[in-house]
Structure 1
Amino acid sequence: MCGRYVVSQSADDLADEFGVDRIAVRERLEPDWNVAPSKQVYAVLTRPPRDAPGDAGERRLVTVRWGLIPSWSKDLSIGNKLINARAESVAEKPAFRRAFASRRCLLPADGFYEWRGEKKGARQPFYIRPRAGSLAMAGLYEIWRDPTRPDDDPEAFVWSTVVLTTQAVDELGEIHDRMPMLVGRDSWSAWLDPANQNASDLQTMLTPAVPGVLDAYPVSKEVNKVTNNGPQLVEPVTL
């Protein structure tokens, strides 16, 4: 985890569910049943007002590119490799530690896909979803300045994100050895607060996506091709 996931809810629905103060997107995304790296995805984050740095700030729904691009990167290609970050070491890794300190976000998802098996052609995809509500996957974000674009270009600053993962447990571990870290509703405000930089406290807010609150079932191998999309991808199949 995590290489593909699903977001079918609208920006308005996500804003309501995640208590967003402002929908700050240039373009609203279509429902996506096959979210893949490098795509634009919704993220929830807190941005403190520039004129009141001590203020709690406002919670925003934004769009970001999946695949983290650290500020020191020469180009955005590194983001294709940085789609996941291990929660166990995220506070120390050079690519993630600055974002973990003050640029944390929530990545809403209906559910996510994992594959079981060793051979590429024989690997069976599974869809893993919560029994109620949406997943609030723990994420980090960065803002990268594209040196090839002028200052007045709206694409000069690229917002990107990474999903935090941990060791999979129980039945989920039989499908894949990694799974996303989640943030419980009671911890959303503290996780999103950029002023909260206590690494130990932040780690305690992360919750593994454990069985008991999730359902996992096999789905069509159509999901293997990133150009395939639609609600049929999450329909269960018989093995």
Structure 2
Amino acid sequence: MCGRFTLTADLEALQALFCFRYQGPLAPRFNIAPSQEVLTVVVEEGERVGKMMRWGLVPFWAKDDRIGAKMINARSETVDEKASFRHAFKRRRCLIVADGFYEWRKEGAKKVPYRFTLAAGAPFALAGLWERWDGPSGPLETCTIITTKANELVAAIHDRMPVILPSERHGDWLDPSLDDSEYLKTFLQSYPSERMRMYEVSPLVNSPKNDVSACIEPVNSR
């Protein structure tokens, strides 16, 4: 699964990489957790637009928004089959912008956190789905991160990883007129291990209350 990630790059750098329009502030985030707002990129009227959405997908047919807590991830193997994700996979795909994600390794009674980034440290796009739910307080836009089998690097810590989309896939992934499920599922591959790095980080990240730069700093090797 992917249950925590980071986005510390400044807005101008992200816009240069992902070519989207966005209005509003964007603070660095060192420990993004489910139910919080995340930066997504969608296509509206042929233009890429950055939007803040709540992490945890609420299907359009849901009776209430509490279901979102169980919908932070969608498995790549069944994303086109599950009722919760099938509609969004056809019509509502997005990029979820990040520059790192966390996974935990069990060591006895402890869970030791690690951060994964691209080898060069650049921001990247996670394959996401989004939905708009019409609730009693008005429309709510939510999203989920698609996961796949871990590559060799991540597998040392966890058996799943988020799908990182290479830049040449962004256009097709965002195209709402493209609904060929078999073709789209070919995008949902493990990112190459040799193009990533990992390092152990502080247990500070274990609590979503801690959203500080110390969360991404490497701990000393043991």
Query: Aligned pair in 2 of structure 1 residues 118, 82: CA closer, same or farther (>3 Å)?
Result: farther
- The answer to whether the 8 A contact 1:184-1:207 is kept is no
TM-score, normalised relative to structure 1: 0.88
Find the aligned partners of 1:228 and 1:183 in 2 and give their Cα distance: 28
- The answer to whether the 8 A contact 2:59-2:133 is kept is yes
Corresponding position: 1:117 with 2:106: yes
Displacement of 1:206 in angstroms is 2.7
Displacement of 1:192 in angstroms is 0.2
Find the aligned partners of 2:54 and 2:83 in 1 and give their Cα distance: 20
Displacement of 1:11 in angstroms is 3.1
Aligned identity (percent) is 40
Find the aligned partners of 1:96 and 1:62 in 2 and give their Cα distance: 20
- The answer to whether the 8 A contact 2:124-2:164 is kept is yes
- The answer to whether the 8 A contact 2:148-2:189 is kept is no
Find the aligned partners of 1:205 and 1:140 in 2 and give their Cα distance: 14
Q: Which residue of 1 aligns with 2:90?
A: 101
Displacement of 1:10 in angstroms is 3.1
Q: Could you tell me which runs of 5 or more consecutive residues in structure 1 were left unpaired when the two chains were aligned.
A: 49-56, 150-155
Displacement of 1:184 in angstroms is 1.2
- The answer to whether the 8 A contact 2:57-2:142 is kept is yes
User: Which sits farther off after the overlay, 162-171 or 77-86?
Assistant: 162-171
SS in 2 for 1:95: helix
Q: CA RMSD in A?
A: 1.4
The one-letter code matched in structure 1 to 2:146 is L
User: Which sits farther off after the overlay, 95-104 or 110-119?
Assistant: 110-119
The one-letter code matched in structure 2 to 1:125 is P
Q: Which residue of 2 aligns with 1:3?
A: 3
- Residues 140-155 of structure 1 correspond to what in structure 2 (within 5 A)? 140-146=129-135, 148-149=136-137
Find the aligned partners of 2:83 and 2:11 in 1 and give their Cα distance: 32
Render the CA deviation track for 1:85-133: whole Å, top value 9, x for unaligned.
00011001000000000100111111000000166x5000000001222
The one-letter code matched in structure 2 to 1:101 is K
SS in 2 for 1:227: coil
Displacement of 1:18 in angstroms is 0.1
Match of 1:72 among 61, 64, 70: 61
Q: Which residue of 2 aligns with 1:199?
A: 181
Q: Which residue of 1 aligns with 2:127?
A: 138
Match of 1:190 among 160, 172, 175: 172
Q: Which residue of 1 aligns with 2:18?
A: 18
Q: Which residue of 2 aligns with 1:85?
A: 74
Corresponding position: 1:214 with 2:196: yes
Find the aligned partners of 1:200 and 1:136 in 2 and give their Cα distance: 21
Find the aligned partners of 2:25 and 2:67 in 1 and give their Cα distance: 26
Q: Which residue of 1 aligns with 2:35?
A: 38
Displacement of 1:224 in angstroms is 0.2
TM-score, normalised relative to structure 2: 0.94
SS in 1 for 2:169: helix
